[in-house]
Structure 1
Amino acid sequence: MQRRSKTDRALLKLLGVQGGAWTTTDVAIATGMPLDVIEPRLLSLAVASGAQLRVADDGNVTYVFSAQLRRLLLARSWKLRLDACLRKVWSLLFWIIRCSFGVVLVVLVVLISLLVLLLGLALFWAEDDAANALLSLVGGGFELIVRIVVAVLTDQFWIGSPGRFPAADEQSPPQRVAFLESVYSILFGDGDPNQALETRRWQRIGGFLRHRDGVVIAEDLAPLLDLADPPFATHSSVTQSSEIALASEQADQGMLSVLLHFDGRPQVTEQGDLLYCFPSLHHRSVEASSAEDHALAEGASLPLRERRIAFTHANQSQRQAYGFLVVSLLGLSLLLLHWSLPLSAALVGIACFGLGYSLLLLALPLLRWFGWRRSNAAIHQRNRWRQQWADWAQLHRDALVSKRLEAARLRKNLPRISDGMVYTTENDLLTQPIDH
């Protein structure tokens, strides 16, 4: 059910505003979703929205959706309206949660500062010796804290900094937030910039397969997959021929998921090499150039790159304000705890809460820093492996020509998807373009 809902959201995002004519393959490439998942959901969406159908002479179906499809579905379905409303409510609640950490920090600093100032004044009237120095110290610290709080509130309403990353189905850049949300950013980060990596991967793979007219070799797709680094004969004791065999075997092992995703078929050549055919992506017309020209012009895909995770998107002034407020809260809580122990249990409780909250705000970013470094190291390693596969394919370009040549020849022999239309629901039955 969750996968079905995710697929429906992806379809509405793609088709919701502009509509247009789409085949199942086109939608699968654009959304990065598997063909077997897209096909039934696309048909259901076509039925629900009253889309038009165009059937080619080879049985290929094209769905024609009207513009403003999302509005049409919202008008027909109360469930979609409720889902959209709940999403807006959750977005507001999440914004309140993000701001609450900063609000608690500012409120605690102001409250404990006032309590410390009042206790300082009480001590001034109770003890004359060193009272002026104490009052001056407390007053000066309180004035500085007030200045910081005023600056924080000014930043909250007028100045923004980069904030969280968008959700996996969004493409907009990170939003800008103010100081209160920056506290959450420093504590928990701003989300994973690679959360839509799988969607991007399958979009890149689908586009590459379509560009290669539905027939590829595994070595050309390896820079888009998560494979370990390829063997290099110059770095080990293996020979050149065994290096190529090992690399081919390693790349072939990563092709199973691609075959399942785009309904592909493996083909074995007379030389025992594996080629991968995707009939649904084989659509282009026959070109005049020879198979040899194709093989010489082809190369591996550009590697898929993951973005480095930023520790926080709070700007420098916000990080400095955060550090000052947290350290001030820690020092003021300790001072309030020391002065209020013989006076009031309520003041002791406030001091303990402020002390615990300040320690939490210091410990969480420090603990997250270690995990952040490990995550970025893993991202760097995966990027390096994909780049090595692209470099390996370029280095062994001549050795791969024979496989690419076989792929080009097989490409010419595959049945092609026809553009000829034999039936469409856009016309009456008597005016259908049927060849009698």
Structure 2
Amino acid sequence: MTPNLRIMTAIESLDYRVTVGDVAAQAGLDVKVVEPGLLALATDAGGHLQVSESGEIAYLFPKNFRGVLRNKFWRLRLREWWEKVGRILFYLIRISFGILLILSLIIIMVAIAIIVISINSSSERNDSGGGGKSSGGGMAFFPRFIFIPDLFDLFNWGYYNERYKYQGERQKYRTSGKENKMNFLEAVFSFLFGDGNPNYFLNEERWQAIATVIKNNQGAVVAEQVAPYLDDLGKGYTLEYEEYILPVLIRFNGRPEVSPDGQIVYHFSELQTTAKEWNNQPVSAYLKEKSWRFSEASSGQIMLATGLGIVNFVGALVLGSLLKDGTVAAQIGGFIAFVEVIYPLLLIYGISFLVLPLIRYFWVQWRNDKVEKRNQERQKRAVALNHANNLLRQKINYAKEFAKETIISSQDLAYTTEKDMIKQEVEQVDKINVEWQRRLEESDTENIS
């Protein structure tokens, strides 16, 4: 069984002594996943079980348990190696799109320059042979004196605009104490595809927040205290009978308790057992999804990428007009013949470079509208909880009757795998004898008095 990395991280953050409830709350994991996971880790990493006199179990792990597991499991070593390699590969993929843009621009510009020079050379030879074709020479010079300067003016506009924006961005990050580390090649990828889902870990955050709310209320809550962290609660019968809390009960092994007035509260005994005293943790009033961003690149980088994309697209159109009859490529051959073969790819890339971000821009707006609606719904539930009516306050007060915290202290252990079994039995007998001796002394004192 490959170790669960989330459980391992939770153990480290909880100082290596944990209960099932501690890890489930810290990692937001199902208790049915945590319990066998902790047993497996204790077996494989040399951890110890500590059993209290009431039968509750705590797990104690050595601080080097991750290294022990790494030496034992080749899959764990492979995963760590792949994470390192994967970061490098993903970085190369990210910058490859910027390299492709620059390479496409160079190919297009060089091809246009070669074709224009070839046309002009041919025109000059024709002019030297006779003056009757001077009008043809004027047409041949059109791309040279009209198109080429326009292209490079646009390129320079992008460069100077980027330089101006970069200075502004540097000032902004300097005053905010942050630093924009994304280079231009990475910014091209960000411009095309964005920077990933900002809510990738939303479900993990959801369960961590719910577990924290339950732990802060010592293992007993009402449905309204959990509702601000859930999505659609349903309607009608589903909402009235609080069916939306079933996934929470299943995940954290909770059970409903019914008050004399018929109100339902929820009791989570697994989350009431802890290895050390639980101090209430801050938790947001409701689960707030982050808005999607078009790009994490600076505005200057986005404008430069857009400008170069336009240059690339216009250049591809001009190159296509020069290659359309096929005679130029046949006459010049070599590099131009190669460009004619790959021209469809250059054109498709030029179109995609501008169309894809445009489509994604509207898609981001649509996604953010959905995100905002869900956030508003959760916020309404949080507000309703803060302004609880008498009926809701009665439910919360009834839930407090089930609230408690069981701390597994190192001093009150009935058994631990850290010590020899026979030695522990002897210690247990000694403790019993000491207790009986104390009671006998107290009884004798009472009889004398």
Q: Which category of TM-score, normalised to the shorter sequence, fits these structures? A: 0.7 to 0.9
- Displacement of 1:330 after TM fit? 1.0
Q: Which amino acid letter does the alignment assign opposite residue 21 of structure 1? A: R
Q: In structure 1, the residue corresponding to 2:260 is in which secondary structure?
A: coil
Q: Which amino acid letter does the alignment assign opposite residue 76 of structure 2? A: L
Q: In structure 2, the residue corresponding to 1:255 is in which secondary structure?
A: helix
Instruction: Mark the CA change 1:411 to 1:142 in structure 2 (over 3 Å): closer, same or farther.
Output: closer
Q: Which amino acid letter does the alignment assign opposite residue 359 of structure 2? A: L
Q: In structure 2, the residue corresponding to 1:195 is in which secondary structure?
A: coil
Counterpart of 1:241 in structure 2 is none
Q: In structure 1, the residue corresponding to 2:253 is in which secondary structure?
A: coil
Q: In structure 2, the residue corresponding to 1:177 is in which secondary structure?
A: coil
Counterpart of 1:289 in structure 2 is none
- Displacement of 1:42 after TM fit? 1.4
1:205 equivalent to 2:210? Answer yes
**TM-score, normalised via structure 2 length:** 0.77
**Is the CA contact (8 Å cut-off) linking 1:227 and 1:386 kept in structure 2?**
no
Q: In structure 2, the residue corresponding to 1:423 is in which secondary structure?
A: strand
1:398 equivalent to 2:398? Answer no
Counterpart of 2:40 in structure 1 is 44
Instruction: Mark the CA change 1:24 to 1:181 in structure 2 (over 3 Å): closer, same or farther.
Output: same
- Over aligned residue pairs, what C-alpha RMSD do you find? 3.4
- Displacement of 1:200 after TM fit? 0.9
- Displacement of 1:104 after TM fit? 0.8
Q: How many corresponding residue pairs? A: 387
- Displacement of 1:149 after TM fit? 9.4
1:102 equivalent to 2:98? Answer yes
Q: Which amino acid letter does the alignment assign opposite residue 260 of structure 2? A: E
Instruction: Mark the CA change 1:60 to 1:175 in structure 2 (over 3 Å): closer, same or farther.
Output: farther
- Displacement of 1:145 after TM fit? 7.0
Q: Which amino acid letter does the alignment assign opposite residue 118 of structure 1? A: I
Deviations 1:245-271 (A, max 9, x none): x79944722110110011001011111
2:76 to 75, 80, 85: 80
- Displacement of 1:227 after TM fit? 3.3
Counterpart of 1:135 in structure 2 is 144
- Displacement of 1:74 after TM fit? 1.5
Q: Which amino acid letter does the alignment assign opposite residue 315 of structure 2? A: L
Write out aligned runs for 1:222-301 (5 A).
222-228=227-233, 249-250=239-240, 252-283=242-273
* Identity among equivalent pairs (%): 28
Counterpart of 1:409 in structure 2 is 401
Write out aligned runs for 1:152-163 (5 A).
none
**Is the CA contact (8 Å cut-off) linking 2:258 and 2:264 kept in structure 1?**
yes
Counterpart of 1:310 in structure 2 is 293
Instruction: Mark the CA change 1:219 to 1:18 in structure 2 (over 3 Å): closer, same or farther.
Output: closer
Deviations 1:36-85 (A, max 9, x none): 01111111111110012211112221111122332222123322212221
Deviations 1:68-120 (A, max 9, x none): 33222212332221222122222222222222111111100011111111212
1:187 to 192, 197, 201: 192
Counterpart of 1:214 in structure 2 is 219
1:380 equivalent to 2:380? Answer no
Q: Which structure shows the higher helix fraction?
A: 2
Give the distance between the partners of 1:250 and 1:101, measured in 2 at CA. 53
Counterpart of 2:133 in structure 1 is none
Counterpart of 2:416 in structure 1 is 424
Give the distance between the partners of 1:333 and 1:41, measured in 2 at CA. 58
1:337 to 320, 325, 339: 320
